[in-house]
């Protein structure tokens, strides 16, 4: 759920942080219209062109993304307030006065709301200092707390130690958040390891979704869920960037990562073999091709109905399935409020937890 911190219940809303790239935008564009009001993606803009703006404008009715321009210092050149499409600005604690003013203009131009992104690893301050920083944001953006969705961004959470270290820090931040009447409060983390391209090839590899487990352990606080889709929170090489067909497939509590190099040098044959292996696996969606647009596209390749595609296509299919899987999981009956233990490493199948460095 996405209540205001302190128990005000609201409808289920999923808040993934996604790069504003062709693959992720295509997955969002193919989202079932009935699911559009239940997802509020945060799009990270490292670059922008007319194609990106057009793709945002073609989102399903009811889907209003938030746009994070923090990676671009030249805000004047990409001012979202001039795009003419419904969106919400993403406000950072480090934003300067001029940028905060521009964010406020963009918020009032469309929805009257904004997303405030508090990065757990970067925005370090005590509760009083954090409140002072927020008051500055509200003053320059001319927004009230009730117009802001708070996003507590934990960054990479890729192993049991990360979960144990992050949980108490999140609880302290959410303790502070109860001082204010937010429109909603969500916790976001990235569970995909920063080096997925180092995984073995020609066999599905199981990776635990530690971001999902972290959120389950916060169930008693009744906060919303967000993640980084099927990509790491730390920017790095794109999945499939080494030209090997790569499909991370989301399942309950885990990803199954398929990286295929077999069948010689013909890419289409490798993709066909990968997709055939996936659709015959026990973690293939029970609804099959009807579960999401991405599942439909994977089945088409398994049947050789279409070509193998590119890294952009593989990300699009994987993201499409991931979004549908998370939304389906969030619609399930209420979670057991008891604290969930961190599970021991699985002994079923090939399970890897690559070491996170840096």
Residue spans of beta strands (DSSP E) within the chain: 17-19, 42-44, 66-68, 88-92, 114-119, 148-156, 184-190, 205-208, 224-227, 246-251, 254-259
Q: What is the largest CA-CA distance in the chain?
A: 61
Rounded CA gap, 324 and 36, in Å? 11
Structural domains counted in the chain:
1
Residue-wise pLDDT tens digits, 309-337: 899 999 999 999 999 999 999 988 654 44
Are the beta carbons of 148 and 183 closer than 8 angstroms?
yes
Res 141: pLDDT: 96
Q: Which residues have a Cβ under 8 Å from the Cβ of 210 and sit 6 or more positions away?
A: 157, 158, 159, 160, 162, 163, 189, 191
Residue-wise pLDDT tens digits, 72-107: 666 555 666 677 778 899 999 989 998 899 899 999
Distances (CA, A) of 203 to 164, 247, 281: 30, 12, 11
Q: Which domain holds residue 234?
A: 17-330
Token pair, residue 198, equals 């180092």
Res 51: pLDDT: 73
Residue 343 lies in a domain: no
Residue 165 lies in a domain: yes
Residue 310 lies in a domain: yes
Residue 348 lies in a domain: no
Res 8: pLDDT: 38
Q: What mean pLDDT do residues 106-111 have?
A: 90
Res 78: pLDDT: 62
Residue 11 lies in a domain: no
Rounded CA gap, 155 and 94, in Å? 17
Token pair, residue 133, equals 């920083």
Are the beta carbons of 97 and 70 closer than 8 angstroms?
no
Residue 354 lies in a domain: no
Residue 357 lies in a domain: no
Residue 356 lies in a domain: no
Q: What CATH number does the domain containing 277 carry?
A: 3.20.20
Rounded to two decimals, the pTM is 0.89
Strand order across the 114-119 sheet = 17-19, 42-44, 66-68, 88-92, 114-119, 148-156, 184-190, 224-227
What is the SS3 assignment for 107? helix
Token pair, residue 97, equals 């006065």
Q: For the chain, what percent of residues have pLDDT higher than 90?
A: 62
Q: What mean pLDDT do residues 169-185 have?
A: 95
* Percentage helix, strand, coil for the chain under 3-state DSSP, each rounded to 5: 40, 15, 45
């Amino acid at each position: 759920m996405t209540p205001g911190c302190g128990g005000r219940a609201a409808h289920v809303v999923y808040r993934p942080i996604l790069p504003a790239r062709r693959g992720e935008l295509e997955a969002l564009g193919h989202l079932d219209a009935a699911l559009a009001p239940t997802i509020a993606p945060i799009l990270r803009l490292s670059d922008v062109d007319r194609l990106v703006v057009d793709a945002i404008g073609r989102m399903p009715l009811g889907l209003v993304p938030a746009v994070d321009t923090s990676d671009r210092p030249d805000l004047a050149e990409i001012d979202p307030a001039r795009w003419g499409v419904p969106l919400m600005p993403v406000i950072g604690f480090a934003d300067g006065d001029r940028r905060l003013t521009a964010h406020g203009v963009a918020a009032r131009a469309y929805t009257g709301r904004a997303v405030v992104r508090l990065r757990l690893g970067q925005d370090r301050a005590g509760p009083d200092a954090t409140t002072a920083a927020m008051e500055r944001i509200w003053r320059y953006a001319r927004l009230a707390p009730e117009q802001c969705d708070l996003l507590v961004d934990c960054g990479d959470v890729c192993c049991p130690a990360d979960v144990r270290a992050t949980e108490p820090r999140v609880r302290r931040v959410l303790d502070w958040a109860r001082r204010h009447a937010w429109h909603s409060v969500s916790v976001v983390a990235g569970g995909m390891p920063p080096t997925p391209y180092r995984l073995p090839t020609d066999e599905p590899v199981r990776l635990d979704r530690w971001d999902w487990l972290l959120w389950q352990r916060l169930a008693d606080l009744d906060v919303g869920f967000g993640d980084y889709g099927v990509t790491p929170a730390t920017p790095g090489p794109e999945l499939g960037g080494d030209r090997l067909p790569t499909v991370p497939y989301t399942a309950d509590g885990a990803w199954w990562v398929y990286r295929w190099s077999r069948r010689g040098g013909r890419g289409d044959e490798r993709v066909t073999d990968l997709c055939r292996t996936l659709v015959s696996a026990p973690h293939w969606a029970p609804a099959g091709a009807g579960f999401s647009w991405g599942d439909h596209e994977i089945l088409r390749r398994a049947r050789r109905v279409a070509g193998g595609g590119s890294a952009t296509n593989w990300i699009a299919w994987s993201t499409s399935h991931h979004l549908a899987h998370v939304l389906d999981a969030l619609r399930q009956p209420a979670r057991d409020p008891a604290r969930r233990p961190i599970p021991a490493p699985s002994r079923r199948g090939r399970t890897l937890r690559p070491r996170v460095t840096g």
